Structure 1
């Protein structure tokens, strides 16, 4: 392969030894649009990746909820990260392994997996974060760059959690398209901390539990925006774009988040071993059970487009932070895990309805405008 001339921009508030973002910095462009206007444009055909939402600025009350959640769940996240890291090692070995997280929810998880492998096996595994966009695929320029830096790279893709499985399918298609265009085979298996959608083959748990980094946006993801693919401001074969919100440095908890969980690795060795043994008895083959729940919700509430249904704690949080919600469905058996969902819904006057018939703790439904 010819050496790509393109280099990514240095961005993000993480330490460079934790992750390299393969993105083009578009901070000087104004493409933020308020939720209502953005929702209208998406629903009338503009692709979501061409614009950005206005970043949600959390209240003091909501931030203290994030800190409480981090304290409550840091051990659970550390166990899940260790379980995923061990499976990645078993599957790929450590030689030539390259971790590739999907920006931005995957980025802190990729850092935790990299740090766990360093802690346990004293190896420094390269870790990059790249863009993947529903309906547009992953950033092939970023993958070219990785192969340019690591000719024998065994790439392992990482994300935070699964919802309906749209990204799992997108990744499969992107890997096939990359093979057709570049002649290089990629393993499209996705590893996630939580797989409530039952659509990933490597996971820490299939419980729909709250991963604290789902509570916030850029301030827990290296101050990087959601990724953008807008050819009005990006060249055809360039990296996908993102903003670097330097002005939010005072509110940034990205490094605090990964440092807090990393400290738990020394205390959870036995739990990781137990969980791995338990998972070996489970069939990891994706059953797409989550999609069956979504189809039931679609039928029950008369929703014509499944894109309006965002299941799982992580996706419901995103609906409340970035979209215009119609209502939130909550599984009453899991409501103790959903304090931040209930708080955000109350802040935005979004109705909450109890609904048990799903494999998720909750589900956000977008308002049709």
Structure 2
């Protein structure tokens, strides 16, 4: 089967990334947070609808810019170390394949690091992966047709409890059974607080500024969509391009700001990558073990209602109906935006000493309509 070439999409420079997504720009897919929460917990898959895009307050945007100034060098080092690990493990005949959408800016940073430091220009794509449904198979077939002989390196922004790592591993196993083509499911991430990746920049649960916002820091692209009436058998998974948000777009600003630090962190990135390889770091899945304890403590049967880590907790506050937010300590500098969002949405915050992550978002199980 010959997969059609992708259409231009998103606000990033085309040299930075190609989105393998069907543009559903004209389709009304947004659902209010309350209605979406009810639908998800009643069994409708989250990929069949989109959350309403959060319009940040002036105070929240200011916090994004402050965080970017404070953490840009740290993010650059994480991207540089991850990129160094990729070429040491896989060589340079590699295609970077980001998981939309949090993976997209991370993939751009790794691509730019290798370009700036080594003059290596790797192709970079962004594809859809959906919990419970898997990775976009048509996107994988397109990549294999277009880049025959190159290896695929999957990229994401961070890990929470490792759910997407597990979906990716299963998708690659299913793809091999169906097509007799083996793909390496190693997932390179900027931050791995869940301790479920072998290729990462850091395991600190710190605030990556791109976690603060939605489409306006992800190339104006929505979450990905998979619905039979919209996505045909030969289509890529879908997403919306929010061109109307162009005036508030900071996607390019984020990757440009972080990229400026690559020359100064390159030596340390190389050193950390060598130390990482010498130590033979492996996943411990420690984060997943803690999630089990939290489920027992709070009586939550569905593991998908527990969202650990700064990135995932932010997502809970931006597009779900949170029950409460757990934090390791109130003076954690990574949590300023979490506390601001929680106050804005009147979500209680509880200190949980000894928490493995900086924070964790809990979604209230809707056992009946009165909840």
- TM-score (norm. length: structure 1): 0.97
Query: Residue 293 of structure 1 contacts residue 357 of structure 1 at CA under 8 Å; is this kept in 2?
Result: no
The whole-number CA distance in structure 2 between the counterparts of 1:221 and 1:178 is: 28
By how many angstroms is 1:275 displaced? 2.5
Query: Residue 327 of structure 2 contacts residue 358 of structure 2 at CA under 8 Å; is this kept in 1?
Result: yes
By how many angstroms is 1:285 displaced? 1.2
The residue number in structure 2 matching 1:86 is 84
Q: Aligned-residue CA RMSD in angstroms?
A: 1.2
By how many angstroms is 1:334 displaced? 6.5
Query: Residue 163 of structure 1 contacts residue 312 of structure 1 at CA under 8 Å; is this kept in 2?
Result: yes
The residue number in structure 2 matching 1:23 is 21
Is 1:131 aligned to 2:128, yes or no?
yes
The residue number in structure 1 matching 2:348 is 351
Change (3 A) 1:349 1:333: closer
The whole-number CA distance in structure 2 between the counterparts of 1:147 and 1:176 is: 16
Residues 149-206 of structure 1, C-alpha deviations (whole Å, 9 max, x = no match)? 1111200000000001010000011101111111111001001010010101100011
**1:170-209 residue pairs with structure 2 within 5 A?**
170-209=167-206
Q: Which runs of 5+ in 2 are unaligned?
A: 367-371
The whole-number CA distance in structure 1 between the counterparts of 2:270 and 2:115 is: 17
3-state SS of 2:122 partner: coil
3-state SS of 2:332 partner: helix
The residue number in structure 1 matching 2:369 is none
Comparing 335-344 and 37-46, the one that deviates more = 335-344
Residues 338-366 of structure 1, C-alpha deviations (whole Å, 9 max, x = no match)? 10000000000000000123321000001
The whole-number CA distance in structure 1 between the counterparts of 2:362 and 2:354 is: 15
The residue number in structure 2 matching 1:226 is 223
The residue number in structure 2 matching 1:45 is 43
**1:320-335 residue pairs with structure 2 within 5 A?**
320-332=317-329, 335=332
Comparing 30-39 and 281-290, the one that deviates more = 281-290
Aligned partner of 1:158 among 134, 155, 158:
155
Query: Residue 146 of structure 1 contacts residue 153 of structure 1 at CA under 8 Å; is this kept in 2?
Result: no
The whole-number CA distance in structure 2 between the counterparts of 1:333 and 1:342 is: 8
The whole-number CA distance in structure 1 between the counterparts of 2:238 and 2:246 is: 20
By how many angstroms is 1:121 displaced? 1.1
Aligned partner of 2:55 among 57, 77, 81:
57
- TM-score (norm. length: structure 2): 0.96
The residue number in structure 2 matching 1:35 is 33
Comparing 342-351 and 273-282, the one that deviates more = 273-282
Residues 81-126 of structure 1, C-alpha deviations (whole Å, 9 max, x = no match)? 00000000001111x2100000000000000000000011112110
3-state SS of 1:339 partner: helix
Residues 258-308 of structure 1, C-alpha deviations (whole Å, 9 max, x = no match)? 000110101112332342344345442111000111011111111111111
3-state SS of 1:353 partner: strand
* Aligned residues between the structures: 366
